Structure 1
Amino acid sequence: MSITQEYLLDLYRAQKLGEPGPPAPGAGDWQVVRELRDHRQFRALVAGRPAHGRIRQALGRWLHLRPRPTC
């Protein structure tokens, strides 16, 4: 049974019992992504690392260390 089918079945059961329906699948996905980002920034801050721009800084260091080709 797919997620959509299970959701529709749960919605039908809730409607028959007069209860509020369950949230749609994927309704809280972006909230989870935001919370994960906030948690990673918090962990970086506690560890003494910069909380923002870590990937850009790492790529910048990596690109500047590479020797430039001469033509």
Structure 2
Amino acid sequence: MNRFALALLVSAGVCLGSSEARAQANDMFPSRAAAEQRAKELQCSGAFAMGKEWMPCQNFDVYEKAVSQEK
């Protein structure tokens, strides 16, 4: 994980509960295809680059909303 992504996750952990921060850390993928598969599970689509890794959904705002609605 690059420094920018790590800093983003750490700062997000300050604003979010620890379970949400852990979910974000677990949703960093080495390939776009893997992130898009997770997007299907979150009921969003697409993937976006976060440094050299990929995250599910079209962007971070959509991702946050999808994770907050995940059961």
Structure with greater helix share of residues: 1
Task: Name the larger-Rg structure.
Answer: 1
Larger strand proportion of the pair? 2
Say whether the fold is shared (TM-score over 0.5).
Answer: no
Output the TM-score relative to the length of structure 2. Answer: 0.28
- Length-normalised TM-score, structure 1: 0.28
The structure whose RCO (Cα within 8 Å, separation 6+) is larger is 2
